[in-house]
Copies of this chain bind each other. A is one copy, B any other.
């Protein structure tokens, strides 16, 4: 697939940070930045820009807050054309923490929002736009939203919001290609002045397939993570995405090196990927948190009991 407008965003450190409370070492962050830069990846998302007032204490690492000085230190001396992105959640950001773009190493701010919070997301987006940033809205848990709510959100985003792209986020890894096609086509039919993006989760080994599906139907902003690192089942593997895209500006080889040297050892210490309890929450369209709890306990391979518990809960 070659389409010049397609932009690849690496969110390894940001989505992977949901596994380890954003406690990645500076070394790993630098190596990811170096590799995605050499690979020609368009954006790298380095973490969340949350307010420290809302998350006090020492639990969280620096990539939950993404202070400009920490970012500058991490990327110092690495030659790169890759733009930097941070994510904010509706309700967890203090807009005063964010300097104008001209004073920051950050290029893009992505606002993660549920459909019901879309007005708040639009307010935030327009503030960040006013400060000079590129912006996107990432609509989470879209598999759980009603069609009329999605229609209204798309219409508002088209009319009221400065974002350059609207992402569809399959938070639970529950979408099959037919629904991905339906949602991308619906978004394209309403949102005419912005790009459509796709962010997938790999619970059912469909993260890459659904990303391709979204690209086929016109999505131009696509997220991937190195070796699929990300919460629970993880995300669309960046290496597969780069193998698929034919734009010669992308080079898979630095990503292969990075996986060899950093991610194979990392996988011994952190768990993500195709693991049956995550497949189960995916097929039942549930948040992975019950599966994450199961995996941290001593009954982590009790799949049938877990399946019956999650399925039964759905009948309440």
Chain A residues with CB under 8 Å of chain B are 176-178, 202, 204-210, 212-213, 216, 227, 237, 239-240, 243-244, 252-253, 256-257, 259-260, 264, 273-274, 276, 279-280, 283, 301-304, 307-308
Copies of this chain, complex-wide, total: 2
Instruction: Evaluate contact between B303 and A259: CB separation under 8 angstroms.
Output: yes
17 A-B residue pairings within 8 Å (CB atoms): A176-B244, A177-B212, A177-B216, A178-B216, A205-B205, A205-B240, A209-B213, A240-B283, A243-B280, A253-B304, A253-B308, A256-B276, A256-B303, A256-B307, A257-B303, A257-B304, A260-B303
Q: Which of A209, A253, A307 neighbours the largest number of chain B CB atoms within 10 Å of its CB? A: A209
Query: 3 tightest A-B contacts by CB?
Result: A209-B209, A243-B283, A256-B303
Residues in B neighbouring A302, C-beta threshold 8 A:
260
Contact yes or no, B205 A264, CB < 8 A? no
> How far in angstroms is the closest Cβ of chain B from A183?
16
CB distance from A228 to the nearest CB of B (A): 8
Q: How far is the CB of A107 from the nearest CB of chain B, in Å?
A: 29
Partner of A205, one of B237, B260, B279, B304: B237
- A204 to B207: give the CA distance in the assembly, Å: 11
Q: Is the Cβ of A206 less than 8 Å from the Cβ of B204?
A: no
Contact flag A253-B283 (CB < 8 Å), given A176-B244, A237-B205, A260-B301? no
Contact A213 B177 (CB under 8 A): yes
Q: How far is the CB of A31 from chain B (nearest CB, A)?
A: 14
Q: How far is the CA of A207 from the CA of B213 in the complex (A)?
A: 14
Closest chain B residue, CB of each to CB of A181:
B216
Having A244-B283, A264-B301, one finds 13 other A-B pairs with CB under 8 Å, namely: A176-B244, A177-B213, A177-B216, A204-B243, A205-B208, A205-B209, A209-B212, A227-B276, A239-B276, A256-B303, A260-B302, A260-B304, A273-B274
Chain B nearest CB: distance from A9 CB in Å?
19
Query: Are B276 and A209 in touch, CB under 8 angstroms?
Result: no
The distance from the CB of A316 to the nearest CB of chain B, in whole angstroms, is 20
A279: chain B residues at CB < 8 Å are: 237, 239-240, 243
